[in-house]
Amino acid sequence: MMMKMKKIAIYTLMVALFGGISSCESPLKDFNLQISTEIIEHYVTLRVVDANGDNVNGVSVSLVSGDTQDIYNMEGYKDFKLTDNLITLGVDPKRTPTANNPIRFRVQFAATGYNTQTIPVAITDASAGIQTVVLTKPLEVPDGAEEVVENVDLEADGSTSTAVTVEVPSAVGQGDMALTIPSGTQFRDASGAVITGTNVQIVVTSIDANNEDAVVLLPGGDLRSDEVVLEGGSTAAGTFSPAAVADIKMLVNGIQVRQFSQPLVVSMPVPANYVSPITGQPIAAGTVFQVFSNSGDGVWRFEQTSTVTGSASSGFRVSFPVTHLTFYMAGEFAEACSSARVINFSGDWMSSGATYPIRVDAVWGGKVIATGEYSINASNNTVSVMNVPASGVTIMVYNNAGNILEEGPLAGCGQVTSMQLPNPGDATGTISTLQLYVRCPGQTNVITLLPTFQLFYRASGTTEFKYLGEVNNGYLRTSLLKTDGTEYDFKAIWGERVKVVNNHTVSEDNAATVGTAPGDIIGEHAGLTNLAILTQECNNL
């Protein structure tokens, strides 16, 4: 399905070009096409990688819930797939999302051999940047997690003959996590029917959700959630402060267990250095945590409360009964503002017209709870952050070398956070200008409005591409590229196309026109980013 707005734009162009023309001469001849194929202004870009940061093959993408009716790819179609490791999802221009009225939906990523991941997405009128999604493999246990697999014999009626305790070293230290199954317990499927078999396979994973390698195991891969059912039944978005997390899975005769004939008991150690990011109080015996569950549908639900027992010397612990299988998290939850949090950047360096990549982290309770890459300049200097706590959040801004540019508190709900940044690039380096045009075959003038695309670079001979920034209308200025003869490889990603150009040097002025006229560049000589990929679009205008 194609976005109607794009059809209207193309039809209007055709009327303008053909109306009143009766000669056989092409109406495109010498016509300066002041038209952009970029009709989507508000969008989010998602990067999908594995636990090592590498690309994942064969990833399928689907929009599974939420406000999806006006979401398209950047070419105006409801056809969602990764290009390299990126996908950009945009809003039909007939709608204008805002911080107070964001467009929210969920995106699911699936690939053979990987756990399916469903993440919440929100688009406002501020930049959503590039957000990273990590797909994990079922049999890989990352740092910050401990897992045990045990098989327990069953009676003919599918019940346990004796009480069973499955233990796994706690990922947060200070003892073992324990799952106790009473004697006579039967295991049931999602419909409540008893499953019979010779044994039950039990997989128990203890997760330190404060570990950035292990947090990706959570549903959504994040401590933030757009939908949490609270005690009392109301729903809110916000962020968890986890004290202990477990993922429990069971199979009987190849059938997934969802329920039990009687409650099991989960007992989990809690780190002695836990400090509440809400109250600022350290953990002590008698501290009450909330327990939430998530059955894989992306919704965390309040189950009960659990009171901490033990001491700093003997170890703290929470215990609670469970009646169904799922993720369980004991900890605290801080609600988010109903609107997006907006951050506005400024700096003297913006007057040069330069564009730079930055990383923005939201920190709460000493933990990074949100991170994203953004391309900022004088005309694109506002970003948004979603589902972070209403108070107590610090914003940390880094350049592409990982150095801190600025930090400060996130303003309250409904307020804009203003931050002045020093130059994210090389303040003493030469600023290079990349100016790129496209000339359609048979035309004299050039197309001066071009689609936005993402540009990455690396020094030739190295392996890792770094984000250079978002190229708008074929234009980008930066001091991140040396003009001393250093050779670079460039990767441009736009729509469903990716092009890599190797071993190019950069000068102070890098203006070029992609086309077939004398002096133009084409094919393998398409200049800095090999924009020959864009000339193919002339046939679509």
- Residue by residue, pLDDT tens for the chain (541 residues) are 555 433 323 222 222 222 333 333 322 233 233 334 447 889 999 999 999 999 999 999 999 999 999 999 888 889 999 999 999 999 998 899 999 999 999 999 999 999 999 999 999 999 999 999 999 998 889 999 999 999 999 999 999 999 999 999 999 978 999 999 999 999 999 999 999 999 999 999 999 999 999 999 999 999 999 999 999 999 999 999 999 999 999 999 999 999 999 999 999 999 999 999 999 999 999 999 999 999 988 899 999 999 999 999 999 999 999 999 999 999 999 999 999 999 999 999 999 999 999 999 999 999 999 999 999 999 999 999 999 999 999 999 999 999 999 999 999 999 999 999 999 998 888 998 887 666 666 666 666 556 678 999 999 999 999 999 998 877 889 999 999 999 999 888 877 778 788 888 888 877 666 555 666 554 444 334 334 444 455 555 5
| H/E run at residue 500 | strand 497-504
Nearest alpha-carbon partner for 255 in 207, 185, 298, 198: 198
Q: Is residue 264 part of a domain?
A: yes
Are 416 and 442 within one domain? Answer: no
Looking at the fold, whether 102 and 157 belong to one and the same domain comes out as no
For residue 122, tell me if it sits in a domain. yes
Q: At residue 132, what are phi and psi to the nearest 5 degrees?
A: -100, 135
- Tokens standing for 527? 């200049």
What is the pTM for the complete model shown? 0.84
Give, in order, the Cα–Cα distances in Å from 98 to each of 66, 91, 130, 240.
Answer: 16, 12, 18, 25
Q: pLDDT at position 246, please?
A: 97
Q: Would you say residue 290 lies in a domain?
A: yes
Q: What integer pLDDT is reported at residue 517 of this predicted model?
A: 61
The tokens 């864009």 sit on which residue?
A: 534
Shared domain for 117 and 169, answered yes or no, is no
Domain that holds residue 396: 341-420
Q: Are 261 and 423 in contact (CB under 8 A)?
A: no
Assess whether 166 and 68 both reside in one domain: no
Token output for 469 = 């920034």
Q: How far apart are CA 59 and CA 105, in angstroms?
A: 19
Nearest Cα to 170, choosing from 204, 220, 215, 131?
204
**What long-range pairs does 301-305 form, CB within 8 A, spacing at least 24?**
301/228, 301/229, 302/228, 302/229, 302/230, 302/231, 303/328
Question: What is the Cα–Cα distance from 48 to 56, expressed in whole angstroms?
Answer: 7
Neighbours of 230 (CB within 10 A): 16
Distance CA 74, CA 43 (A): 8
- pLDDT of res. 453: 84
Residue among 461, 476, 519, 199 at smallest CA distance from 355: 476
Domain-ending residue, one of 381, 399, 420: 420
131 and 59 in one domain? yes
SS3 for 253-308 is CCEECCEEEEEEEEEEEECCCCECCCCCCECCCCCEEEEEEECCCCCEEEEEEEEC
Q: Which of 91, 108, 135 is the last residue of a domain?
A: 135
DSSP assignment string, 34-86: ---S----SEEEEEEEETTS---TT-EEEEEEES-TTEE-TTSBS----BTTE
> Has residue 426 been placed in a domain?
no
441 part of a folded domain? yes
Domain boundary among 135, 169, 199: 135
Examine the domain organization and report whether 172 and 271 are in the same domain.
yes
- Give the number of domains in the chain: 4
- pLDDT, residue 256, reads 96
* 140 within a domain of the structure (yes/no): no
Tally of CB atoms within 10 A around 503: 10
